[in-house]
Structure 1
């Protein structure tokens, strides 16, 4: 260290002594202006020397450089020790060599500012969709730490998520979403069919087998301001209805009349059902409330629908001589082609239930059981 400082000051002396007289005169003519010499060492350290004129620079040779460099080494040790025990990140110490040893041409004051040494770290950030991140930090000893908070407090992360949700709500006046409903069908408001006694029975559905499946695409258009909870929902839906019978009965279309008759030839049915598919267009008003973090809470929707029957069929499954057989027959079975009714949804958070009531009869007048359909169940996808 002593040789390094000695070489530095000798370099400064050479620079100072090499200044021309004309330059010195120019400096003296402007005593308020100071010159700055900056020296960058190979170890990335920087030494800055500020002088008023060349005369001050030449006076550097009067100092005992060997003694100064040794004294600086001691001062630096004291400063580093003070920084380790300090309560702040930065410590400044001042030394007065000339007062300690008068008459030796030592500097009047030396000021050293040191900071606490922080361990060198190597940090890698892995981000997903700008909302979830993992930070891997490696310290100077090779130890790794993992943090999913991205360096932010819990309150900051909550505020960031809330802001993202609010921005999404305000910026999207119209949105589209996939809707999938799973439920069951029930026949209600049944009236007796005027047929020959003993020839037919009232439909008695097996609940777990009378499934309802609906797949649709809804467009939601917000009504009102950017934070309005009201929206208009509409879009195409495709529905599949199954009407599975209890007991050993089957759906029969005979002489233009669809009825439910009991099997008499000894065949035992494992499944006996009537199935339909239809396309529908629902139109609903929807109320969507949110909490203080803009997450969906209570939701309520109500409206109507119109539709058209695409196809219908019957399917029988039974066992004969140890063999399982399936009979399927397509046909209209005197069912209504045009459909209409009312429907609604209610939910909280991610849980949502639906109900759908067909106001028209399932079959044409005097061509089948006089009954209507109620479908209800769980909405799996949707807002």
Structure 2
């Protein structure tokens, strides 16, 4: 592979002058892929073949100073070759950003170099391959092969089949790497509603009734899906912290009040109509949920179903009232525990396709402490959206 930088230098110089060197250049009929084939015969009996989409791609070289470009490529290819020797992989790809390294100079923004060495034991005689991409649209592929004692070099300018195969291979490798991971991390958002079930009356004999659409549930989840079993297993354990926000919006012009250390529901003052009367609770939860996660042929999540439990702890809570008084909108906010249970636990389940899940959570513990608030348990349900 030591000869490849030298070959690349000669070939690029020949490519730049190919349109002007009429004594040495022969244009052959287009290939089946509608590319133009340009054969350049050089005075030293060497020859090279360029496959281009059109001649305009050759003219794109004019925006660069070839001497500076070749010095850059020679140094970058040398680095890529050195990395290839130290790598167990047959293929090494490196990216360089000369425009950042040399601001103000007419150099490509990005140069990607892929070196592939099939080794002496390869079945084919094409042993060395270098793929160079200048920027995002201009590519050069150099293949060196030996057949019967004669060296042959081919150069392809533009988007190359080799580049496409390399990119496809890289995408496939990433998919396989993702599939083979023992732990997958993701961030998703739960958007849903709260309901109170198994309800009972408070000390005043009032049973809490919620406004369904206004009693919202939101949770920010950092989940870790841990594979249980060998590669290819679809059984996972989902866990990870969840920051949950439960809103309980009362109906019937009631509000939460504390009287003698007991939380009750009482009617608003005479003549006051409550536009909003809610109890907001923030908690941190930790799920432990076995889950079956099936993937499609491309390695992407296709279908999942799971059921398990969770534990949590209340971080804070407050009530909020919104009403009209003397022609002005008033908002009262009062922080307090309101005799809510600090620790919580329950069961949950989900079923999902692609990046969307349907979830349901049921708190087995009482929402309020025994005999210090209304009897109720929380049930939350809705959609879970995978963001990454």
TM-score, structure 1 length as denominator? 0.60
1:242 matches 2:247: yes
Report how far residue 158 of structure 1 moved: 5.7
Aligned position for 2:199: 190
Task: Return the match for 1:174 from 157, 180, 183.
Answer: 183
1:164 matches 2:166: no
Aligned position for 1:269: 274
Task: Return the match for 1:232 from 225, 228, 237.
Answer: 237
Structure 1 stretches of at least 4 aligned residues deviating more than 3 Å after TM superposition:
83-91, 112-120, 122-128, 149-160
Distance in 2 of aligned mates of 1:80 and 1:316 = 85
Does the 8 A contact of 1:90 with 1:114 survive in 2? Answer: no
**Distance verdict in 2 for CA 1:86–1:373, change over 3 Å:** closer
Aligned position for 1:364: 369
Does the 8 A contact of 1:201 with 1:260 survive in 2? Answer: yes
TM-score, structure 2 length as denominator? 0.59
Report how far residue 90 of structure 1 moved: 11
Does the 8 A contact of 2:347 with 2:362 survive in 1? Answer: yes
Report how far residue 115 of structure 1 moved: 9.3
Task: Return the match for 1:319 from 321, 324, 349.
Answer: 324
Does the 8 A contact of 1:341 with 1:359 survive in 2? Answer: yes
Specify the SS of the correspondent of 2:294: strand
Unaligned runs of 5+ in 2: 1-12, 15-21, 40-44, 62-107, 115-134, 141-156
CA deviations on 1:307-352 (whole Å, 9 max, x unpaired) are: 1222221111111111111111122212112100011222111112
1:306 matches 2:316: no
The 5 Å alignment of 1:115-154 reads 119=55, 121=58, 122=60, 134-136=136-138, 151=161
Aligned length: 272
Report how far residue 300 of structure 1 moved: 1.6
CA deviations on 1:27-65 (whole Å, 9 max, x unpaired) are: xxxxxxxxxxxxxxxxx99xxxxxxxxxxxxxxxxxxxx
Report how far residue 231 of structure 1 moved: 1.7
Distance in 2 of aligned mates of 1:182 and 1:155 = 42
1:381 matches 2:383: no
**Distance verdict in 2 for CA 1:137–1:319, change over 3 Å:** same
Aligned position for 2:347: 342
**Distance verdict in 2 for CA 1:152–1:188, change over 3 Å:** farther
The 5 Å alignment of 1:269-308 reads 269-308=274-313
Q: Which moved more, 1:373-382 or 1:302-311?
A: 373-382
**Distance verdict in 2 for CA 1:255–1:154, change over 3 Å:** same
Does the 8 A contact of 1:200 with 1:262 survive in 2? Answer: no
Report how far residue 220 of structure 1 moved: 2.4
1:217 matches 2:227: no
Distance in 1 of aligned mates of 2:38 and 2:337 = 89
Unaligned runs of 5+ in 1: 1-43, 46-75, 92-111, 139-145
Q: Give the aligned CA root-mean-square deviation in angstroms.
A: 3.9
Distance in 1 of aligned mates of 2:374 and 2:312 = 21
Specify the SS of the correspondent of 1:209: coil
The 5 Å alignment of 1:4-19 reads none
Distance in 2 of aligned mates of 1:323 and 1:166 = 62
Specify the SS of the correspondent of 1:191: coil
Report how far residue 250 of structure 1 moved: 0.9
Does the 8 A contact of 2:238 with 2:290 survive in 1? Answer: yes
Does the 8 A contact of 2:25 with 2:38 survive in 1? Answer: no
User: Over alpha carbons, which structure has the higher Rg?
Assistant: 1
Aligned position for 1:260: 265
Does the 8 A contact of 1:359 with 1:372 survive in 2? Answer: yes
Specify the SS of the correspondent of 1:204: coil
Distance in 2 of aligned mates of 1:265 and 1:86 = 90
Does the 8 A contact of 1:362 with 1:373 survive in 2? Answer: yes
Report how far residue 241 of structure 1 moved: 0.9
CA deviations on 1:127-170 (whole Å, 9 max, x unpaired) are: 89x9xx942489xxxxxxx98x7646989866653332112221
Does the 8 A contact of 1:134 with 1:150 survive in 2? Answer: no
Aligned position for 2:212: 207
